[in-house]
């Protein structure tokens, strides 16, 4: 008797389970969205790199400090560049026109003397020529006066050329020395690691006394007030994403809360390793406070339909077939779908009974 009761109970349970797997399509709103995960980033967040290798001699900022564009963050040991800059400064000063004025004065005086001698020899030659025309003096005296005048004329022209050449040499040397000083100053400035823009120091990656190179970042800086999300979207879904779409965001740091955002940018190249696209979204409602690198999960709203005929996705076979109560299969046309439900466009009515296929 007890055995018979047990069998009946088992049969009733089995029947109930079968009935539980039978459902009718429901009419309700459905929203299609694309899932994405990502992190929070400060707007304009960037890594600071050194342009030269060296050892940090001074660290001038700490995490949390507010900096302005051009502020020095760290100083690298740079004795050799300092000495080179000082040498270039001395050379630029020595090569300047002011320091070349003594030589210029010497050449100018020589040129003036040559000009006066030329003028004097010219007057003597003209006088000797006048006397020769009057029958006074010898041809030899006339030729000597003429030769002296021509020689002094040549000497004066040479002195003018020498003076002009010296001016050009001094000017060239001054410009070259100044350019070398600018180059040395530029090289020397490479040993001062500076902020590229205004922002907040979120992370210091190197400490005083440590070695830095051009490959590893030394700090992370970003906007102190504005934040965005950097989302990873699968290549399968990227064609559905457009700027301006709404985003619903959840965060482990603020469990149980949903925050609104909007898609602002789609990076037009896929990451070869992850096979994902980078999508940026900005908060329209955001938690306080926010910090870079917080993890987020997001649903990007693709479309919404009211009063749609829907069934659970688990009741679909091969994405286009359902199993009727009598065991027959029926082809259906699907529309919007999310991670739990799918819209039935045609092939079922709200009165049809379907059952969940066994997996």
β-bridge partners, 33: 301
In a domain, 9, yes or no: no
CA distance 29 to 177: 77
CA distance 121 to 88: 48
pLDDT at res. 341: 84
Same domain, 195 and 62: yes
Same domain, 140 and 264: no
Q: Give the tokens for residue 281.
A: 């979204």
CA distance 322 to 329: 6
Tell me how far CA of residue 317 lies from CA of 116, 126, 328, in angstroms.
114, 124, 12
- With contact defined as beta carbons under 8 Å apart, do 287 and 317 qualify? no
| H or E, element range at 254 | strand 254-271
In a domain, 14, yes or no: no
In a domain, 168, yes or no: yes
- With contact defined as beta carbons under 8 Å apart, do 67 and 61 qualify? yes
Q: Give the tokens for residue 167.
A: 């001016």
Q: Which domain holds residue 155?
A: 83-189
pLDDT at res. 96: 56
Q: Give the tokens for residue 304.
A: 């919404």
Same domain, 108 and 91: yes
CATH of the domain at 52: 2.40.50.100
Q: Give the tokens for residue 27.
A: 């009419």
Cα 262 to chain centroid, rounded: 23
Identify the DSSP state of 243.
T
Q: Give the tokens for residue 256.
A: 């149980």
Number of structural domains the chain divides into: 4
Quick check: pTM over 0.75? no
Same domain, 110 and 89: yes
In a domain, 6, yes or no: no
Q: In the listed set 167, 189, 211, which residue is the last one of a domain according to the structure?
A: 189
Same domain, 113 and 185: yes
pLDDT at res. 86: 61
**∠ CA 334-338-339 to the nearest 5 degrees?**
120
pLDDT at res. 183: 63
Q: Give the tokens for residue 153.
A: 């004329």
Q: For each of the chain's 359 residues, which pLDDT tens digit applies?
A: 434 434 333 343 344 445 557 888 888 888 888 899 999 999 999 999 998 888 888 899 999 999 999 898 998 887 655 555 566 566 556 655 555 566 778 878 888 888 888 888 888 878 878 887 888 878 888 788 888 888 888 888 888 888 888 778 777 777 776 776 666 655 567 788 889 999 999 999 999 889 889 899 999 999 988 999 999 999 999 999 999 999 999 999 998 899 999 999 999 999 999 999 999 999 998 888 889 999 999 999 988 888 888 888 888 888 788 888 888 888 988 888 777 888 888 888 888 888 888 76
CA distance 131 to 352: 142
- Beta carbons within 8 Å of 144's beta carbon, 6+ residues apart: none
- With contact defined as beta carbons under 8 Å apart, do 193 and 76 qualify? yes
pLDDT at res. 320: 84
Tell me if the bond preceding 134 is cis, omega within 30° of 0.
Answer: no
Same domain, 244 and 206: no
């Amino acid at each position: 008797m007890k055995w018979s009761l047990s069998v009946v109970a088992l049969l009733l349970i089995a029947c109930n389970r079968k009935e539980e797997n039978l459902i009718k399509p429901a009419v309700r709103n459905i929203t299609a969205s694309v899932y994405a995960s990502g992190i929070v980033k400060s707007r304009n967040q960037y890594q600071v790199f050194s342009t030269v290798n060296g050892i940090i001699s001074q660290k001038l900022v700490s995490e949390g400090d507010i900096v302005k564009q051009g502020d020095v963050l760290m100083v690298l040991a740079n004795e050799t560049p300092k000495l080179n800059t000082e040498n270039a400064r001395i050379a630029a000063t020595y090569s300047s026109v002011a320091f070349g004025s003594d030589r210029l004065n010497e050449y100018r005086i020589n040129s003036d003397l040559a000009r006066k001698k030329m003028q004097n020899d010219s007057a003597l030659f003209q006088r000797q020529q006048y006397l020769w025309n009057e029958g006074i003096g010898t041809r030899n005296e006339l030729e000597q006066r003429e030769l002296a005048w021509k020689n002094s004329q040549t000497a004066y022209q040479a002195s003018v050329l020498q003076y002009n050449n010296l001016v050009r040499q001094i000017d060239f040397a001054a410009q070259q020395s100044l350019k070398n000083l600018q180059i040395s100053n530029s090289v020397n400035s490479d040993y001062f690691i500076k902020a590229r823009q205004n922002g907040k120091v979120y992370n210091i990656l190197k400490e005083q006394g440590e070695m830095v190179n051009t490959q590893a970042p030394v700090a992370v800086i970003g906007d102190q007030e504005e934040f965005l999300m950097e989302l990873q979207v699968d290549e399968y879904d990227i064609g559905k994403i457009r700027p301006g779409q709404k985003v619903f965001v959840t965060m482990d740091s603020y469990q149980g809360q949903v925050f609104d955002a909007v898609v602002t940018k789609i990076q037009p190249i896929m990451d070869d390793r992850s096979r994902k696209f980078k999508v940026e979204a900005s908060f329209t409602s955001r938690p306080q406070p926010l910090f870079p690198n917080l993890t987020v999960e997001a649903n990007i709203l693709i479309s919404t339909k009211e009063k749609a005929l829907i069934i659970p996705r688990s009741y679909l076979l091969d994405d286009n077939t359902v199993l009727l109560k009598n065991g027959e299969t029926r082809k259906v046309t699907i529309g919007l779908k999310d991670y739990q439900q799918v819209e039935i466009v045609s092939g079922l009515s709200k009165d049809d009974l379907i059952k969940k296929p066994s997996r």
